[in-house]
Structure 1
Amino acid sequence: MSDLIAGSLIILGGVFAVIGALGLVRMPDVLIRMHASTKIGTLSTGLILAGSAVVFASPDIIIRVIAIVLFILLTAPIGAHMMGRSVLSTGVPLWKNEDIAQDEVEDELLQAHDAPEDR
């Protein structure tokens, strides 16, 4: 039974990884691509690691898997946030859709980045 559970977790993680890869190819904007890759990447990595923990079922492996998943859950959003800020502050062209109201954060970040600091 544990082999069936582990196999399903690993296959499901692989399916989500493929969905994330398709998101990288199909999405029109750097920020949207980054969202697809970080969210799906975190989920797929967690599922594959959970499947490997079920396969080995050793307490030290389970502790390592938990530590790795916690590390990924803590660092992926921070890394994505920093990459998103750098994309906005460097002026990378973003996808414009007339049907969607544009966010004003881009203008504020560009103004803050261009303004000289008083030091």
Structure 2
Amino acid sequence: MTELLVDVISGAMMLVGGAFAVIGGIGVVRFPDVFTRLHAGGITDTLAALLIVGGLMLQAGWSILTFKLLLILLFLLFTTPTASHATARAAMAAGLQPLLGVVRPKGDGSSNT
């Protein structure tokens, strides 16, 4: 009974983590500027890694593999936000500004021409 519960919880964690990764990937492609893309990628990537590696840790049980997965998770939790921050600072140093207001795609019929 306990093993079935662990399998269900870990499977749900990995499934939700995979969904967050896909949503983040779609956000990176769809958002208009580097800052919103960083937000979409950084937030969902961190949460997806937490859920996926957490589900794998539940599947591994108490072993050396769990310790290794924990080290991988800690590495990801420190490097992903740091990389997002460094990319945002580099974009600001390069002179890029965040887009403000409503961004409408071309050809949506709302232009004043």
Q: Given the two structures, how large is their TM-score scaled by the length of structure 1? A: 0.74
Q: Which runs of 4+ in 1 moved over 2 A?
A: 91-94
Structure 1, unaligned stretches of length 5 or more?
Answer: 99-119
1:31 aligns with 2:35: yes
1:40 aligns with 2:44: yes
What does residue 92 of structure 2 align with?
A: 88
Deviations 1:44-88 (A, max 9, x none): 011111111111213212211221111111111211111111111
Please report the RMSD computed on the Cα atoms of aligned residues, expressed in angstroms.
1.6
User: Partners of 1:43 and 1:9 in 2: how far apart?
Assistant: 11
Q: Given the two structures, how large is their TM-score scaled by the length of structure 2? A: 0.78
Q: Superposition pairs for residues 11-26 of structure 1, below 5 Å?
A: 11-26=15-30
Structure 2, unaligned stretches of length 5 or more?
Answer: 103-113
User: Partners of 1:93 and 1:5 in 2: how far apart?
Assistant: 42
Q: Percent identity?
A: 34
Number of residue pairs aligned between Structure 1 and Structure 2: 98
